[in-house]
Structure 1
Amino acid sequence: MPGSLSQEIAPHLPYLRRYARALAGSQKSGDAYVRACLQAMVADASAFDMSRGAKIGLYRLFHVLWNATMIAPASQDGSASIFEQTAQQRLANMTPESRQTLLLTTLEGFKLHEAAAVIGKSEEEVSGLIKDAISEIDRQTATQVLIIEDEPLISMDLADIVEGQGHRVTTVARTAAEAVKSARADKPGLVLADIQLADGSSGIDAVKEILGDFDVPVIFITSFPERLLTGERPEPTFLITKPFDPNTVKAGISQALFFNSTSSIAA
C-alpha cells in the first residue's frame, strides 16, 4: 500500500474497527473484516475510491466486501460490554441495510448524503432505512414509563410523546414520594424526571432512591441542567434541557432503551 494512502486512512481505522465490531457482533469477527478490507486495498489500489475523501472511500470498500458475504452478526465472543450485547441483540433483528445505515448515522456520525455514498443508495432510500430502523427499535423496546414532572402541560406533552412511541405511562408523579411509591408498585422500564418538583422535593433524590431498588434507564428533563452538570459527581448519561424539542425527547428515549443503560447519580 503506498505510503500516502496509508497516511490517509490511518486516522479512520480505529473507527472502522469500532463500526465493524458493532456490525459483526464481536471484535474478532469485525477485525477480520477490517483486515480483509486492507488486504483488498493492497492487492488492488484501484478498488479504493477516494473521490469523496478517504473516510467515505474506506467505509465504502468495507461495505462492498461485507455485502458480498451477506454476513449476519456473530455470536458474542465475550469482548463486548453488557450494553453492547443488548444493542447487538436488537440490531440482529433489523434488515442488514437498516442496521448498517443506523450505525453509520449514529455510531459513526455520517451525514445523510455520506451514508448514502457509503452504502450506494440515494438519500431518500437512506432516510427510509433510518426510519425503518427507529421503528424497529421502538417496537423492540416498548415499555412502561414513569414520568416525574409537576407541570401539567409539560407532563401532558411528555405523555403524548411516550405513548406515540408505543410505550405506556404508568404514573405522572408530582413529588419525589409519589415517584418512589409508583416505581416500587409498577417497576417502570424507563424514567423521565424533572429535578425540581411541586412540594420542593427533588427528582434527583427520587431517582437515587429508585435506583437503589432496581436498575432502570433515566432521562432527566430539566430547566436546571447546571445542577446535574457540576463535575463533582457522576453525571447522567441522558439529560435534556427545557424547553425541549419533541424530536430530541423521542431520540433520547430510543437511545436510552436501545442500550438499556442505567443512569447513576452518586449520593
Structure 2
Amino acid sequence: MSMIAQFKPHLPFLRPYARALTGTQQSGDAYILASLEALKEDPGQIKTASSARVTLYKFFHAIWSTTGAHLEGGMKSGVSAPESRLRKLAPVERQAFLLTTLEGFTRAQACEILDRTIVELEALLDAAHREIEKQLATSVLIIEDEPIIAADLAHLVEDMGHKFAGGATTRRQAVEMARRVKPGLILCDVQLADNSSGIDAIQDILTEIDVPVIFITAFPERLLTGERPEPTYLITKPFQDDTVKAAISQALFFRTEAAIEET
C-alpha cells in the first residue's frame, strides 16, 4: 500500500488538530506537509508504529516539537497574542490532553505518539488540567436550540470559570445577542429552532465582532464541504465534556489580545 493510501484517510482528522495546535490553517498544514516529507525520507518508521494514524501524529509531533513548540527563544517584538501565551505554557502538556480527549487516542497510543511512559503521560495530563483552570476567563454565548444541551453547556462553561453570557435558539436571536453582549467565545449548533442556520448566524456575527467559535453539531458534514473555510473547532454530538473543555481552552488560547481586553 502506498504512503498516500495509508495516510489519506487520517488527514481530515489531523488538519483540525494541527490548526488548533499551531493557531492557523496555513501553519498547521505546513507542519503536516513537513511530517509527510519526513515519513517519505524514512518510510521504515511506518512499520514500527501500532497504526498508520499513530505514525502520522507521531511524525507531526516530532516536527512540531523541534520547531513550533519551542518559541521561547529568538522571538521578535510584536509577536501575536497566541505566540506570546504559548511561550508561557508547556506545549507537551496540552498535546497530551488533546490527544486523549479531542483526538480520542488511548493513553497507550498517546504515549507512543509523544514518546512518553504512562507515568510521564499521567503527570502531563494532571499538569494540563491545572493549566486549563488558569486559562483566561471570558463570557460565552451558546447558540443551541435543545434546552437540555444548552443547559449542560452553560453549566460546563461556568464550571470552567467562565461567564454564561446567554443563549439563543435562532439565527436572529444569536446575532442580536452577540451584538449586545459581545462574547469572548461562542458555542454554536448548526441546525437551529426555526430551521435557520447556525453557520449563517456565525457569518453574520463575524462581520461585526472578532470572536472564536466552536461548532457543536450532529451534522458535521454541513461544515466539512470544502466549499468554504473549514472551522478550526468542530465537535460532533453526542459530545464528551472533556472534549468540549479541551476545545474551549484551545479556542481561548488562540484568541486575540483585543478579544481579551474586551471581556
Q: TM-score range by the shorter chain?
A: 0.5 to 0.7
Q: How far off its partner does 1:171 sit?
A: 0.6
Q: Rate the CA distance shift 1:78–1:145 in 2: closer, same or farther, 3 A.
A: same
- Code of the residue aligned with 2:70 in structure 1: it is A
1:167-206 alignment runs, 5 A limit: 167-206=162-201
Check if 1:102 corresponds to 2:94.
yes
* TM-score using structure 2 length: 0.63
Find the counterpart in structure 2 of residue 247 from structure 1.
Answer: 242
Residue of structure 1 equivalent to 2:214: 219
Whole-angstrom CA distance in 2 between matches of 1:149 and 1:13: 37
Q: Which residue of 2 aligns with 1:144?
A: 139
Distance 2:236 2:59 in 1: 35
Identical aligned pairs, as a percentage?
A: 46
Go from structure 1 to structure 2 and tell me whether the alpha carbon gap of 1:125 and 1:193 turns closer, same or farther (over 3 Å shift): same
Of 63, 66, 70, the residue aligned with 1:20 is 66
Alpha carbons of 1:132 and 1:105: their partners in 2 closer, same or farther (altered >3 Å)? closer
Q: Secondary structure at the match of 1:220?
A: strand
Gaps of 5+ in 2: 1-40, 46-55, 100-104, 257-263
Deviation at 1:138, TM superposition (A): 4.0
Tell me by how many angstroms 1:165 deviates: 1.6
Q: Number of residue pairs matched?
A: 197
Aligned CA RMSD, in angstroms, stands at: 3.3
Shift of 1:13: 8.4
TM-score of the aligned structures, taking structure 1 as reference length: 0.62
2:76 aligned residue = 77
In the superposition, relative to structure 1, how do residues 76 and 178 fare at CA in structure 2: closer, same or farther (>3 Å)? same
Q: CA deviation at 1:172?
A: 0.9
Instruction: Give the structure 1 partner of residue 150 of structure 2.
Output: 155
Kindly provide the amino acid, as one letter, of the partner of residue 90 in structure 1. Answer: R
Counterpart residue type for residue 76 of structure 2: D
Amino acid at match of 2:204: E
The structure whose RCO (Cα within 8 Å, separation 6+) is larger is: 2
The structure with more radius of gyration: 1
Distance 1:176 1:111, change over 3 A: same
Contact 1:148 1:193 in 2 (8 A): yes
For structure 1, which runs of at least 5 residues remain unmatched after alignment?
1-5, 26-72, 262-267
Is residue 90–residue 137 contact of structure 1 (8 Å, CA) maintained in 2?
no
